[in-house]
Chain A
Amino acid sequence: MNIKSLLKNEITQEELLNYYNATITYEDLPEGVNGFLFSYKNIYNIFINKALSYYMKKKTILHELAHIELNQLNQIDRDMFEFKINKYEDEADIYLKSILMEV
Chain B
Amino acid sequence: MYYNDKKEVLCVNYIGEFIKKYRGDMSLRDFAKKCDISHTHLDSIEKGYDPRSGKPVRVTVDTLKKIANAMNMSVNDLLIQSGDVKIEDLNMELPETHKFDELEILFSKYKDILTDDDKETIKFIIEKRKKDIDKQ
Residues of A within 8 A of B (CB): 25, 27, 29-33, 36-41, 43, 45, 47, 67, 86-89
Nearest-neighbor residue (CB-CB) of B113 within chain A: A32
Stretch of B2-10, B29-37, B121-129 on the interface side: B121-129
DSSP majority for the B interface? helix
- For window 94-131 of B, CB contacts with A under 8 Å fall at 99-100, 102-103, 105-106, 108-110, 113-115, 118, 121-122, 125-126, 129-130
Note all chain B residues with C-beta closer than 8 A to A43.
133
Contact A32 B24 (CB under 8 A): no
Residues of B within 8 A of A (CB): 21-22, 24-25, 99-100, 102-103, 105-106, 108-110, 113-115, 118, 121-122, 125-126, 129-130, 133-134
A-B pair number, CB within 8 angstroms:
58
Assuming the contacts A39-B100, A40-B129, A40-B133, asked whether A86 and B106 have C-beta atoms less than 8 A apart, the reply is: no
How far in angstroms is the closest Cβ of chain B from A63?
Answer: 11
Assuming the contacts A30-B113, A43-B133, A89-B105, asked whether A38 and B22 have C-beta atoms less than 8 A apart, the reply is: no
A33–B115 alpha-carbon span in the complex (Å): 12
Question: Per a CB cutoff under 8 Å, which of A25, A32, A38 touches B110?
Answer: A32
